[in-house]
Amino acid sequence: MGENTRPGDRDSRAGSGEWLVLASPFVWAPSSNGQVSLAGIDTKADVGFREVFNNLNSVFMGNLEITNRTVGFYVDGVYAKTRQSERLYGQKIGLSITQSTFAAGVYYRVYEQALGGSTVFGEPRTWRVEPTVGVRWSQLSTKVNIDSLGFSTKKKTHWTDPFIGVRMQADLTDRWTLSGEADAGGLDTSAKQTYNAQAYLGYRTYVFEHPTLVRVGYRVLAQDYRTRDFTGNTFKYDVTQRGPVIGLSMRF
């Protein structure tokens, strides 16, 4: 690369048909609110924001996207493991939940409005609207134990549901951007429903000469799933997770 050539100059010369890869690792600190029923035992899944780091064993979140700026394909993954305890009828009940959620989808840019000027990546500032459809796969491993009674039971289950939603992004300045996404899944049955929404404020910069968007935001993931467990009772997982997110999106 010549001395007078910057990464942004190369990017601005790229045609709109060039395929790009965006890798986005994130850190998510979600609180939880809802109810879990297993083997006839109803347990609240309530973890406040102040308790997140005490109850959260591990959490990973990331996104990989391939796009030519008109159509794009992506995979999104979340892994979270939490544990908590509460008292019910004088007994201490422990609840452990391991959740894995992976979504794969496609989007198409149906609307783009020029906002004037260019970004630091050498691209026109715009407001973009992109409907999206895809499939989300979820797996849950839930364990309930009552130590005083020597009782312990667990349930592992997984399900797949289609989703539909919309993505939007607006370039506020040459560096700052505002983006958001919302989708709903499980519309094919009342036994499994998912609602996902996230919004981010991003700052454009370069990391190792790669165009990078540093992001801070907030994400909400609500899931309601019901089936039968081995006791014949209803297994219910009706939990909403919400919390701040920080991460980056690097373009290759």
- Please tell me the predicted confidence (pLDDT) of residue 145: 66
- The answer to whether residue 60 sits within a structural domain is yes
- Please tell me the predicted confidence (pLDDT) of residue 85: 61
The count of structural domains within the chain is: 1
pLDDT one digit per residue (tens) for the chain, 252 residues: 444 334 444 444 444 579 999 999 998 888 888 887 876 667 776 766 666 555 555 677 899 999 999 999 999 999 887 766 665 555 666 677 788 999 999 999 999 999 999 999 999 999 999 999 999 999 988 777 666 656 666 778 888 999 999 999 999 999 999 999 999 998 767 678 999 999 999 999 999 999 999 999 999 999 998 887 766 778 888 989 899 999 999 999
HSE-up of 233 (CA within 13 Å, CB side)? 13
Compute the distance between CA of residue 82 and CA of residue 34 in angstroms, rounded to an integer: 14
210 neighbors 204 (Cβ within 8 angstroms): no
CB-based contacts of 59, cutoff 8 Å, min separation 6 = 27, 28, 29, 30, 78, 79, 80, 81
Residue type, 158: H
- Please tell me the predicted confidence (pLDDT) of residue 12: 41
- Please tell me the predicted confidence (pLDDT) of residue 214: 98
Compute the distance between CA of residue 82 and CA of residue 98 in angstroms, rounded to an integer: 6
Does residue 9 come out as left (phi exceeding 0), alpha (psi in the -120 to 50 range) or beta?
alpha
How far CA 26 is from CA of 33, 81, 194, 214, 217, in Å, comes to 22, 16, 21, 10, 10
- The answer to whether residue 2 sits within a structural domain is no
- Please tell me the predicted confidence (pLDDT) of residue 7: 40
- The answer to whether residue 1 sits within a structural domain is no
Task: Using DSSP bridges, classify how beta strands 111-118 and 192-207 pair: parallel, antiparallel or unpaired.
Answer: unpaired
How many other C-beta atoms can be found within 10 angstroms of the C-beta atom of residue 5? 9
Domain that holds residue 124: 7-251
Write down the number of H helices and E strands in the chain: 2, 13
- Please tell me the predicted confidence (pLDDT) of residue 13: 40
- Please tell me the predicted confidence (pLDDT) of residue 76: 95
Residue type, 200: Y
CATH number at residue 183: 2.40.128.90
End-to-end alpha-carbon separation of the chain, Å? Answer: 16
| DSSP reduced 3-state for 15 | coil
- The answer to whether residue 94 sits within a structural domain is yes
